[in-house]
């Protein structure tokens, strides 16, 4: 009986590990592709999108042009993210990948943010970036690196991270994601720019500052990247 119990425990642990690995990114598709189509409100969504009849799919469903065009960085943070996910390429639906182009003005910042559904891998095409992420509680350890052209850095799924152009020239990076729709939560926007606003009683206590500081921050225009 002890041997059977041990074997059962081993099998259970193995299945748990296999399950966790299997769901580390978007679920694998059970067909060649599932080109996303918009439908009126319905009761059922599979992977967030409905599928076009595969026989009606065309090359345009898997194509996007214009990623060579720099994004407009004339904003408060000096950066612009051009997303290429299932919203831009319908053929990405169920394939579990996406990417983005990130443009930086001199000393531009892609502010601290998280991707709740994806790990990110970033490659610098031009310029120099100071990048980093913070580990989860209780350590909250900051891990950073200065990246130059051709360097690659990984931001683990769900962790707060950022990219900052340390140079006096423009910088460009390309990021890949392990989800067709990685999502993004910009920390300052979410905390101080929520609609309706979070109570200043809550935020002043959370950040240990006076309410007038919270009110000032909530009155700012927060850039969505």
What stretch of H or E contains 187? helix 187-192
Is 168 annotated as a binding-site member?
no
Task: Specify whether 130 is located in the same domain as 167.
Answer: yes
Q: Does 3 appear as a known binding residue? A: no
Of 127, 89, 98, 97, give the one whose Cα is nearest residue 110.
127
The predicted pLDDT at position 85 comes to 96
Do 210 and 111 belong to one domain?
no
Residue 95 maps to a domain = yes
Residues 8-66: pLDDT tens digits? 444 444 444 444 444 456 777 767 888 888 765 544 555 667 888 889 999 999 999 99
pLDDT of residue 142: 98
Within 8 A by CB and 6+ apart from 190, the residues are none
Q: How many domains does the chain have?
A: 2
> Is position 115 annotated in a ligand binding site?
yes
Same-domain pairing of 127 and 155:
yes
Within-domain flag for 51? no
Helix, strand, coil % over all residues of the chain, rounded to 5: 25, 30, 50
pTM attached to this predicted model: 0.83
For residue 202, what pLDDT is reported?
98
My answer on whether 191 and 175 are in the same domain is: no
Identify whether residues 87 and 143 lie together within a single domain.
yes
pLDDT per residue of the chain (225 residues) written in tens, 0 to 9: 555 555 544 444 444 444 444 445 677 776 788 888 876 554 455 566 788 888 999 999 999 999 999 999 999 999 999 999 999 999 999 899 999 999 999 999 999 999 999 999 999 999 999 999 999 999 999 999 999 999 999 999 999 999 999 999 999 999 999 999 999 999 999 999 999 999 999 999 999 999 999 999 999 988 787
CATH of the domain at 146: 2.60.120.10
Residues 96 and 174 placed together within one structural domain of the fold:
yes
Considering the domain boundaries, does residue 155 fall inside one? Answer: yes
Which residue range(s) make up the domain with 129? 70-183
Tell me if 79 is assigned to some domain: yes
């Amino acid at each position: 009986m002890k041997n059977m119990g041990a074997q059962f425990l081993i099998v259970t642990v193995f299945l748990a590990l296999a399950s966790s690995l299997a769901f580390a990114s978007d679920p694998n598709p059970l067909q060649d592709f599932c080109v996303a189509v918009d439908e009126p409100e319905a009761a059922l969504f599979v992977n967030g999108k409905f599928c076009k009849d595969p026989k009606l799919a065309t090359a345009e469903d898997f194509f996007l042009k214009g990623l060579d065009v720099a994004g407009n960085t004339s904003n408060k943070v000096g950066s612009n993210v051009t997303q290429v996910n299932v919203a831009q390429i319908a053929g990405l639906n169920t394939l579990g990948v996406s990417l983005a182009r990130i443009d930086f003005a001199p000393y531009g910042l892609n502010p601290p943010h998280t991707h709740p559904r994806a790990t990110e891998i970033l490659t610098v095409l031009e310029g120099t970036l100071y990048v980093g992420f913070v580990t989860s509680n209780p350590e909250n350890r900051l891990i950073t690196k200065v990246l130059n052209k051709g360097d690659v850095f990984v931001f683990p799924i769900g962790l707060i991270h950022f990219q900052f152009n340390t140079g006096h020239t423009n910088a460009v990076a390309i990021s890949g994601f392990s989800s067709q729709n990685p999502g993004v939560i910009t920390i300052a926007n979410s905390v101080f720019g929520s609609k309706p606003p979070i109570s200043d009683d809550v935020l002043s206590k959370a950040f240990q500052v006076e309410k007038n500081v919270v009110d000032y921050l909530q009155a700012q225009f927060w850039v969505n990247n």
